A and B are shown apart, each in its own frame.
Chain A
Amino acid sequence: MSLVPPELLASLDLPAILDGLPMGVAVLDREGRVLTVNSALERLTGFTREQARGVPCRHVVRSGLCMRRCPAQWPADTEIVNRQRRMIPVRISAIPVRDASGLELFRLDLVEDLSAVRDLERRLEEPGGIGGLVGKSPAMERILKLLPAMAQSGVPVMVVGETGTGKDAVAEALHKLSPRAREPFVRVDCGPMPPESLEAELFGRTQPSGDIVPGAFARAGAGTVYLSDVGELPDALQARLVAFLDEGTVLAAGARVPVRSQARLVASSPAFPEDMVRAGRLRRDLADRLGDPRLALPPLRERPEDIEFLLAHFLAIYSAKFRKDVTGFTPKARLLLLAHDYPGNVRELRNVVEYAVMVCAKPDIAPACLPAHLLAQLAAPTGSD
């Protein structure tokens, strides 16, 4: 095997070569101390190369293997904890660098970030397969089937549902499942806000210096702009949205030249577009452009078969969150929870379970652990019988 001439090796700009690699690289001496790291590993671990230099690599890479079987049989999938306290799934491979006699001089540890792969796997395995949305009723199963198809399209989508039915979660799921998932998801609440502020928030504004403060459409880039409660938008801004949907451009407040925007629009409302048009809260031309396709989220009282499933779902989440060994409900508490009509929908049910797990000191949640207002509501009809 012909060796690379030493003068050629000496002339190489090794740091620049390492910085050009997409995965993290740590160059280690024979004792496993860091000689240098490339910029990808700096970003992954949060340690600069100056901080890492001379430090045993286990204190920089901090993988799940460092304290178990290092040097490991490589490559291996594990996880690291970076300086920002994030646990990141990674694949680590090691390459020994030897001289002509076979003596190991250095070791290169390659660290690949597997976050995107794991994220995709998790999304595919989630109940219902999508975001935080769960439900076993036919209505929810239909929505969970529709979502991936709608996500693939770039057309605007209207999400309709009462408060607490999960409109925000659906909008986010539409973004995460779409080809735009790597781009920003920008949410704008169209609720009470001065029209000038809302205009700047949506479309940006021109500063006295001439610089433009970016609005939601500029911040989203090729991602998604989600307008919550779109019927609350003033008429003039609704007209600007129509212009965006027709021409694909937005005009910042105080600017003269419109700018192209590739963002996708998702809007939500508690009422159907036709009803809002009749009530004079939504322009017909905007309703025509936003109204289809639409996702109508059923209130919880129309899908009671989901209540038990959701109770178990949130119980598992909050037991883990509060580190409590709460595993179920007493029969009486279960009956009370199933009898409630949940005007606040899934959000209310979630809050009830969160509170109950928080105050419960036994393995099963008893009626005494349920919020007092819920018990009072449930007791009222019984008392009048």
Chain B
Amino acid sequence: MKSTEGTFQSVWTLGEQRDGRISPVSYELLAWGRDLADKRGTTLASVILGYNLKDRVNTLIEHGADIIYVVDNPALEHAYPDAHAAVLEKLVREFLPEIFIASATTYGRTIMPVLAAKLETGLTADCTGLDIDPETGLLIQTRPAIGGNVMATIKTPKHRPQMSTVRPRSRKPLASDASRKGQVIVRECPDDAYASKVKFLEFIKDETTALPIQEAEIVVSGGKGLKDAKNFQMVHELADLLGASVGASRQAVDLGWIPYSHQVGLSGKTVSPHLYVCAGVSGAVQHIAGMSSADIVVAINNDPDAPIFRVCDFGIVGDAIEIIPILIEKLQSQKATSPK
């Protein structure tokens, strides 16, 4: 849509749910949205599609939304891209938001490009920063490209809504405030909007109970330097102790020590944990591409010239196979003595 096609106002976030439960990324997104809406002097709305979630959406208001648009229909229970995008398109064309952001999850990164194509507007992927240009009022979208080696600032000057997906964990949610007031608007759509050419058959859950690495607060990764699958078990042990999810270099994945869903890097997942610990990982550019936005990086490697040491906050030059067990032991005794 061209910016001249109507009066576009308000900031929207796309809420996300799994099995009728609102995903935490929805709240992170509201923290970004709240800032943008305040800077624009407008309202913040969250849109959420699914089934049986009418009674659960109040938490979105508690985390910063002024308005919730809910479309609650069995046809939306699963994330069918065609149906979800069609419903969102109807809502956007009716309410004309100026800015519409979603999380850069598999859901957001699928629905948003479909929606942007239908609305004929721009979409900026996987942003790590969002702001408002004080002069023009335009959304300033900042994102890494080429493996995090380049940061680009992107605007959508003449098309609306200005749309972006935002990297999970790039922002902490606002504190929940049960006294916040907001409006819940439940919408129905014409039947054709719900039609999908995709059908859900089943969900095969990962056996691990840990969070997917993209959402984890702490990630512990292992690389080829751990030498074999047995040693790689130490990474799991350390991760359990720290309440972390397990990551890996591509070499470790290619050697079959751990499934691909745990690969960090250019051809794997991008992670933004608070703490990233890695052992036996050399720190190739393609690996760093996936973890450079971690807050704190700890590395263990026996090669003092390993590139990972240039991007770490704390490094130990030494044999990881010897060091990790000692670390595990110390953390265990630490845990036993401290109340936390």
Q: Does A associate with B in a complex?
A: no
